[in-house]
Amino acid sequence: MKKEEKASISIMKIICISIILILISGIGVMAVNTQLSDVKIVLQNGYEMTALTSKTKVSDILEENNIILEDNQKTIPDLDSEIAAGETIKITDKSYNEVQIAKISEDGVETSLDQLLENYAPVTEKIVVEQVTIPYETVTKNTTNATTGTTNKVLQQGKDGLKEVTYKVKYQNEVEIEKTVISEVVITEPVDKIVQVQKVQKVQTSRSSTLPRTTSTSTTGGTTYKITAYCPCSKCCGKATGRTASGTKATAGRTVAASSKFAFGTKLNIGGHIYTVEDRGGAVNGNKIDIFVNTHAEALQWGVRYMNVSVVN
């Protein structure tokens, strides 16, 4: 009986060893049939890892290694791409510009995934706040309407203002590629520079002028009046008919407008020249008289003068 038991135990050992050998052989066959490859995975923060995988699709490889993309992330190449052993999967921001750089050789165009990855330049955005000067403006004020001899006088010094401008700036490879204004806030308003331009009047000496050759004041008898000039244009008269309030045709060197204290036809000695009251005016009242001239330029040239006026009997 002991011999039979020993024989039975020996047979059992042989069977067990055979089963183990069969299992080992099966595993070996499965390993031979499943090709494993090493793939490099580069995370967005720059961390690199090497994965040993039998997968070839990018999304499958990431899932196998428990890597989940965020909404603003993408992979290079994309998730549906197939890759081979030794290639790289790069996880990056969606704002990366995909620029393909190819190498030209005698045999044609050559490129590699590593070369392409090196040329993916990230675009970064920054909010930049700058203070910008607001230039002041120069305002000119004329004191008279004469045409010759000017004298400038600064009534108020100008001062630049200041504003705060907020920009959104995009950089690529540390180079500014786009700058957009988001908002502007004025910190200090600019102060205008005010310059007074005083033009010195010059007495008209041309014989062709209809203006009398007199000085700006007269010291002979009579009363001092404020003497201005007007022409037949609509600016001066509100109409351009050339007719006076008395019905006569306005004539340079003769016609003046005066208040109702002077009847139509009254002769007035103004600075040594005889005029006739033939017109009225809404702004002609009190000690003011308007002398008629042919053109608006002559009226501006006359300006304002204070002269002695007397009635000629």
Q: What is the pLDDT of residue 235?
A: 75
- Contact assessment for residue 58 and residue 79, using Cβ atoms and an 8 Å cutoff: yes
- Has residue 68 got a pLDDT over 60? yes
Contact partners, residue 156, CB within 8 Å, separation at least 6:
191, 192, 193, 194
Q: Report the pLDDT averaged over residues 95-111.
A: 52
Of 69, 104, 121, the one marking the end of a domain is 121
- List, for residues 163-194, the tens digit of each pLDDT value: 999 999 888 877 888 888 899 898 998 888 88
**146 belongs to a structural domain:** yes
Same domain? For 132 and 53 the reply is no
Per-residue model confidence as pLDDT tens digits over 214-231? 434 333 456 788 899 998
Residue 108 has pLDDT above 70, yes or no: no
- The answer to whether residue 278 scores a pLDDT higher than 90 is yes
Has residue 18 been placed in a domain? no
pTM (2 d.p.): 0.32
Strands (E), the chain: 37-42, 48-53, 73-76, 88-93, 103-105, 108-110, 123-134, 138-142, 150-156, 161-172, 175-188, 193-199, 223-230, 255-257, 267-270, 273-279, 288-292, 305-312
User: Is 102 among the domain residues?
Assistant: yes
Higher pLDDT, 300 or 117: 300
pLDDT band of residue 101 (cuts 50, 70, 90) is very low
Report how many domains make up the chain.
3
Instruction: Give the structural domain span for 155.
Output: 124-199
Look at residues 121, 152, 168 and tell me which one is the last residue of a structural domain.
121
Residue 267 lies in a domain: yes
Q: Single out the residue of 282, 145, 291 nearest to residue 231, CA to CA.
A: 291
**54 and 133 part of one domain:** no
15 found inside a domain: no
Query: Among 121, 143, 167, which residue terminates a domain?
Result: 121
